[in-house]
Structure 1
Amino acid sequence: MIQRQHVVNDFFAEAEAMRSAYDTKVKDPYRQSVSWQYFCAPQMYTYLRTVPQQVVPEALFARFMQHMKQWCVDNVGLLPMGVPNLHLMVNGCTLGLHSDFQNGTLGYVYSLTRWQQRKFAGGETLLLRDGIPSYKKHHVQGESLYELVPAQFNQLLLFDDRIVHGTQTVEGSMDPLEGRIAFVGHLRPTSPVVKGALDPAAARKTILDLQRHLAEQLKERDDCKDVQGTVTFRLDVAASGKVESVTTLIDHLVTPATGYGPSARVDDVRRIVQEGIATLRFPDGAGKSTVTAAVLVPLPDLRPIEIAVPHGGRAAVLREVLAAQLKELESQGFQIERSGEEFLMLEPLAGTIRIEPARLVATFDPPMWVPSQREHFQANLKDSLGLLARAGG
């Protein structure tokens, strides 16, 4: 089970190929054609960034993302949100202390840095420790306040996105071949992932019923209102629909006062969630299944996302434009199928986008995301549907 942070060494079998592609792309300053964004927020962030496809061949990067996605579903029950940024940090670059709870459940850093041969100081990911420093000690400094995680080559670092974190200032070369090079992104819960005989829609309904039941139970516990975090779990389900075993993948339940330290309130909430999961009953199936799902505490808005935008265009034109837009999403790892006038969204959120005679309608499962994440998704979805409606006119 993964909690606060986790390191995976030797993560991707083709790491050397990706690093070689990067080196080839940037080594000749007169021929390199990478479009870097100089991202600078004074006294907070200074670094260069681009999309990985600028320096890694499309097919190779697609294999990395497929490996990343499968590893994340199997081991943490979460999915990458879109394509990561490629960060390049050379002399003077830094990431100041910040928190990313609005971006994801877990942050990740995948390093292509030749750490053992580096010619710079700094560059470690800094994770602030939980709790309040003890000022009764004679002196409190350094790693009694935080932990430093080196960016070893081909290493994947995962950490709770709520942790205050940053990157130590890089001091050394300005050469892009000698900098700190890493993919940086975020993971979030997906709609329940079903493998096996179970009908996915029926399984999702069972999980949603559980989430609603847990919301009612926890609403009655005033003493647990400050408990927050995500639990993801994988269920082995028999053909009868009975849950045979439960594996907790991540458990990020904390309180602001204790962090990951011992807490009776966290223990109570954890017990309620675990008991609810263990007593689930799915519909009968033709064989065994596995279901991977998440519970966010406090439980978020459990109403489906529903957005409708009027249009006056022709359905055939709208279908073509929408199909082209969705191909871009597919390149980022989204799973989409077409069924008549509907486009079925399978991952990361299950839902549909439907072309009706006078309107475009999008419906999605309620996500296990904090409110700001849901609001951001809804606003972007509404804007996209509005652009589509105008394009089909």
Structure 2
Amino acid sequence: MTIKRQHVVKDFFPEAEALRTAYDGKVKNAYQQTVQWQYFCEPQMYTYLRTVPQQLFPEALWTRFTRHLKQWCIDHLGMLPTGAPNFHLMVNGCMLGMHSDFQNGTWGFVYSLTRWQARRFAGGETLLMRDGVPSYKKHHVQREVLYELVPAEFNQLLLFDDRIVHGTQAIEGSMDPLQARIALVGHLRATSPVVSGALDAAATRRVVLDFHRALAETARPHKEVQGVMSFRLSVNADGGVASVDVLTDNFVIPQSGHAPDDEVAAVRTLVLDAAAKLRFPDAGGPSKVTAAVLLPLPDLRPIEISIPHAGRPERLRESLKAQLKEGEALGFQVDVQGDSFAVREPLAGTIRIEGQRIVAAFDPPMWVPSQRDQFQAALNEKLGMLARYGG
């Protein structure tokens, strides 16, 4: 299965009823409710309430959900969530106006806990605009010709290309939070190549980076093609590629969108042929490699940050360990290796506390420039705070 534009997964999480029960328990009694809601209102654009899911769900249950989501995304998309999703509560009058999210991720997702079949409101569907320009030669153009509506069914995961103009139909009906449209909303994007099996991860990432650099030249004539393809390579023990399985493919050109196009097909073939010819180091056993390609190819230089500090390196290391253990401050998955921190997510890299500076280096990501800039700015800020107050 290759996901190209949008995809719906029914019965996504085995413990959906437990999530819903936890939510109901938090909101059913107005006099006992302790959830801190943010009323997010941008007039004529957005109106809804949101909170962090940790306020609603028991820690162990929420951990199981996030692990399930992450593993499913790696297995089926070769992507990872960009962070914890927001929990949206939408009652009468709430809506999300038409917008796109290409700066936030590659794919958007909506995981619904709404009792859709028993709802007491109208609206609430996710609206996805169709590709192309409407034909004004037709007598009347409306609704399904222009867009598709996806109901927020209970325990359903909806995925869609984050570039698609989308929104949520205005809610008309109940003000009761037990009868509301409720969902977890977030974004997915590529991570550094993921390796399972005998191959060395660092050596594998070097091969994939060289593959990206070569594609930057061969794909240069196809400047109109935009999007991300993720794929999983089956690699033999001798380093040759046995097969290439495409997981997601949202390559498009502006003129035709997701409709079939000869230039898009040519670029797709170019990428897959190059991937099939890759040679990895002899590893003595088979491996799987999950990777992605963004077109146009982004900046292929590593992300490198150096922050001076005047603190004690050992105290800074302990402070950084505490932040990384909490998981909230930097959003990284790490392995502590002596005086260094080897980062696995959201990108492969390292953070080192040296005598007079904090040094971070990460693989070049398959992200649009704004996503890279946001990551680098946030990391600069966090490491700068560590340098000032952690030592």
Q: How would you bin the TM-score normalised by the shorter chain?
A: over 0.9
Cα distance in 2 between the residues matched to 1:329 and 1:136: 55
Cα distance in 2 between the residues matched to 1:114 and 1:249: 31
Given that 2:6 and 2:161 are in contact with CA atoms closer than 8 Å, whether structure 1 keeps it comes out as: yes
Equivalence for 1:30:
31
Deviations 1:268-292 (A, max 9, x none): 2111111110100100112110000
Q: 2:374 aligns with which of 373, 376, 382?
A: 376
Given that 2:323 and 2:329 are in contact with CA atoms closer than 8 Å, whether structure 1 keeps it comes out as: no
Q: 1:310 aligns with which of 305, 308, 311?
A: 308
- Residue 51 of structure 1 deviates from its aligned partner by 0.7
- Residue 392 of structure 1 deviates from its aligned partner by 3.3
- Residue 113 of structure 1 deviates from its aligned partner by 0.2
Equivalence for 1:141:
142
Given that 1:231 and 1:251 are in contact with CA atoms closer than 8 Å, whether structure 2 keeps it comes out as: yes
Q: Which consecutive residues of structure 2, in runs of 5 or more, have no partner in the other structure?
A: none
SS in 2 for 1:225: coil
- Range that drifts further, 97-106 or 132-141: 132-141
Give the 5 Å matches for 1:272-311: 272-311=270-309
Given that 2:194 and 2:289 are in contact with CA atoms closer than 8 Å, whether structure 1 keeps it comes out as: yes
Equivalence for 2:351:
353
Given that 1:83 and 1:332 are in contact with CA atoms closer than 8 Å, whether structure 2 keeps it comes out as: no
- Range that drifts further, 187-196 or 261-270: 261-270
Deviations 1:15-58 (A, max 9, x none): 00000000001100000100000000000000000011111111
Equivalence for 2:43:
42
Cα distance in 2 between the residues matched to 1:182 and 1:333: 22
Deviations 1:149-188 (A, max 9, x none): 0000000000000000000000111111100000000000
TM-score by length of 2: 0.98
- Residue 143 of structure 1 deviates from its aligned partner by 1.1
SS in 1 for 2:219: helix
Given that 1:90 and 1:174 are in contact with CA atoms closer than 8 Å, whether structure 2 keeps it comes out as: yes
Given that 1:304 and 1:366 are in contact with CA atoms closer than 8 Å, whether structure 2 keeps it comes out as: yes
Give the 5 Å matches for 1:93-112: 93-112=94-113
Amino acid across the alignment from 2:32:
R
- Range that drifts further, 329-338 or 35-44: 329-338
- Residue 262 of structure 1 deviates from its aligned partner by 2.0
Q: Which consecutive residues of structure 1, in runs of 5 or more, have no partner in the other structure?
A: none
Cα distance in 2 between the residues matched to 1:58 and 1:256: 44
SS in 1 for 2:65: helix
Equivalence for 2:237:
239
Cα distance in 2 between the residues matched to 1:215 and 1:331: 34
- In the alignment, structure 1 residue 114 sits paired with structure 2 residue 115: yes
Equivalence for 2:214:
213
- In the alignment, structure 1 residue 254 sits paired with structure 2 residue 252: yes
Given that 1:80 and 1:187 are in contact with CA atoms closer than 8 Å, whether structure 2 keeps it comes out as: yes
- Residue 330 of structure 1 deviates from its aligned partner by 7.0
Distance verdict in 2 for CA 1:288–1:333, change over 3 Å: farther
Distance verdict in 2 for CA 1:368–1:292, change over 3 Å: same
Percent identity (aligned)? 68
Given that 2:323 and 2:330 are in contact with CA atoms closer than 8 Å, whether structure 1 keeps it comes out as: no
- Range that drifts further, 267-276 or 162-171: 267-276
Amino acid across the alignment from 2:181:
R
Q: What count of residue pairs does the alignment treat as equivalent?
A: 390
Cα distance in 1 between the residues matched to 2:384 and 2:54: 29
- Range that drifts further, 34-43 or 267-276: 267-276
- Residue 332 of structure 1 deviates from its aligned partner by 8.9
Equivalence for 1:179:
180
Cα distance in 2 between the residues matched to 1:206 and 1:330: 32
Cα distance in 2 between the residues matched to 1:347 and 1:378: 14
Given that 2:53 and 2:87 are in contact with CA atoms closer than 8 Å, whether structure 1 keeps it comes out as: yes
SS in 1 for 2:327: helix
Cα distance in 2 between the residues matched to 1:68 and 1:332: 19
- Residue 348 of structure 1 deviates from its aligned partner by 2.0
Cα distance in 2 between the residues matched to 1:154 and 1:44: 27
Distance verdict in 2 for CA 1:333–1:9, change over 3 Å: farther
Cα distance in 2 between the residues matched to 1:286 and 1:340: 29
Distance verdict in 2 for CA 1:332–1:16, change over 3 Å: farther
Amino acid across the alignment from 1:147:
E
Given that 2:128 and 2:166 are in contact with CA atoms closer than 8 Å, whether structure 1 keeps it comes out as: yes
Give the 5 Å matches for 1:162-201: 162-201=163-202
Given that 1:118 and 1:178 are in contact with CA atoms closer than 8 Å, whether structure 2 keeps it comes out as: yes
Distance verdict in 2 for CA 1:206–1:164, change over 3 Å: same
SS in 2 for 1:360: strand
TM-score by length of 1: 0.98
How well do the aligned residues superpose, as a CA RMSD in angstroms?
1.1
- Residue 334 of structure 1 deviates from its aligned partner by 3.7
Give the 5 Å matches for 1:81-100: 81-100=82-101
Equivalence for 2:160:
159
- Range that drifts further, 59-68 or 327-336: 327-336
- Residue 296 of structure 1 deviates from its aligned partner by 0.2
Cα distance in 2 between the residues matched to 1:101 and 1:47: 21
SS in 1 for 2:122: coil
Equivalence for 1:229:
227
Amino acid across the alignment from 2:345:
E
